Amino acid sequence: MAWSCNPIPHKVPITDDKGTSLEKTSKRKLRGNCANGQLTTLGEAQMEHIGKLFRRHYVEELRFLPSEWTPSVGTIRVTHVDRTLVSARSFLKGLYPQNRGLFTDYKIYAGTCDINNRYSQ
C-alpha cells in the first residue's frame, strides 16, 4: 500500500511561546510520497469534514462561535509534529471556509511536549 500526502506547508508561521520559529520536517520517506509523521490526504479530508460538522453545530445551530475567524476566537496550538499542523489547517478550513485555507489571519503556536502538556500545570 502506498500512502498519498500533500507537500508539507512551510508558509504557515509556527512559533513557540517565545515567538521562535519552529519549522522542522522529517526527511524519512515512507512508501508513497509521505514523510514520517505526515498526515495523508485522506486524513486532511477527514479533518476538513470534522471542521464542517463543528461549523454546522457551533456556528450555525448554537451560534456559539462567530461566522468568521478573528484572532479573538482563540489560540491555535499544535505539537512540533507536521501532521498536527496539517490537521489544524484542515480542521480550520472546514470550520471557517471563507478563509479558503489561507492562514494570514491565523497564528499557530507549537512547542515541545512539556510546553504543550497543560494538564501538568
Per-domain boundaries in the chain? 14-22+35-120
Indicate whether 36 pLDDT > 90: no
36 backbone dihedrals φ, ψ, rounded to 5°: -60, 130
Q: What is the pTM of this model?
A: 0.71
| Contact of 115 with 16, CB cutoff 8 Å | yes
- The span from the CA of 78 to the CA of 115, in Å, is 11
Which of 6-10, 24-28, 41-45, 105-109 bottoms out in mean pLDDT, i.e. has the lowest? Answer: 24-28
Indicate whether 16 pLDDT > 70: no
Question: pLDDT tens-digit profile of 66-105?
Answer: 998 887 888 888 887 888 888 998 898 899 887 655 555 6
